[in-house]
Amino acid sequence: EAGVAQSPRYKIIEKRQSVAFWCNPISGHATLYWYQQILGQGPKLLIQFQNNGVVDDSQLPKDRFSAERLKGVDSTLKIQPAKLEDSAVYLCASRSTRHGPNYGYTFGSGTRLTVV
Amino acid sequence: SQQGEEDPQALSIQEGENATMNCSYKTSINNLQWYRQNSGRGLVHLILIRSNEREKHSGRLRVTLDTSKKSSSLLITASRAADTASYFCAPSGGGAQKLVFGQGTRLTINP
């Protein structure tokens, strides 16, 4: 099966600009996650979708970050306006729910964002 | 939510040696997963061990789980340069099915 696709691969923007990341999960995977990984740290969950509904966005900085998953397939994550501390790799992951809880996640390669 | 804590934070060994890294967690789980991350890449799912399993093998990987001690270990045998990466454990439990990652173990295999 095809993997989780993310684009762009790299992005450099100035602070206060806006940016959007795109994720196409594995076909049929109902659950989609966005993680933020700052250099040297583990990934931090930003938001979890089940189909096109939000399950958990408790760690999403909602004053500047937004995410949507229209039609329960592709997802976009937006930052507006960006701050220097948003420099990180943004990872998208998806998971099938058909196999119950004992099934791993598939991650995309991530988008590396640099805010200058 | 669950979070695993990996130990050690960094590990450096010679090629061919075995590498062992440990994971501790705090609450009950359905399963525990291990992931690898090569520099600048996404995470790759290595192995999942269910709460009713004690040991699981996959190629050169061996994972153990001790639910009474709330701990797990990942053993990589006959290490290779390509095993150089960060390794994360992710305990999973409850209905939300979200993985919370710790800082990981940074493994370096020296030629």
Q: Mutate which of B32, B98, B106 to test chain A, going by most A C-beta atoms within 10 A?
A: B98
Question: A interface mutation test: which of B21, B37, B43, B58 has the most A CBs within 10 A?
Answer: B43
Contacts of A89 (CB under 8 A, 6+ apart): A36, A37, A110, A111, A112, A113, B40
For chain B, the average pLDDT equals 93
Structure confidence at residue B95 (pLDDT):
61
Chain B contact set for A47 (CB, 8 A): none
First to last CA, chain A: 37
Nearest CB to B96 within list A55, A89, A102: A55
Asked if B99 has any chain A CB less than 8 Å from its own CB, the reply is yes
Amino acid B83: pLDDT: 97
* Residue A102 banded pLDDT, cuts 50, 70, 90: confident
- B chain contacts of residue A42, beta-carbon cutoff 8 Å: 88, 101-104
- Residue A22 and residue A109: Cα distance in Å, rounded? 12
Decide if pLDDT at A99 tops 80: no
Task: Tell me how many degrees the CA angle B105-A39-B108 measures, rounded to the nearest 5.
Answer: 35
The per-residue pLDDT for range B20-43, each reduced to its tens digit, is 999 999 988 989 999 999 987 889
Q: Are B33 and A91 an interchain contact pair (Cβ–Cβ within 8 Å)? A: no
Beta strands A88-95; A106-107: pairing state: antiparallel
Average pLDDT over residues B55-73: 97
Lowest mean pLDDT among A9-13, A95-99, B49-53, B59-63: A95-99
Q: Does the distance separating the beta carbons of A112 and B40 come in below 8 Å?
A: yes
Give the distance from CA B53 to its chain's centroid. 15
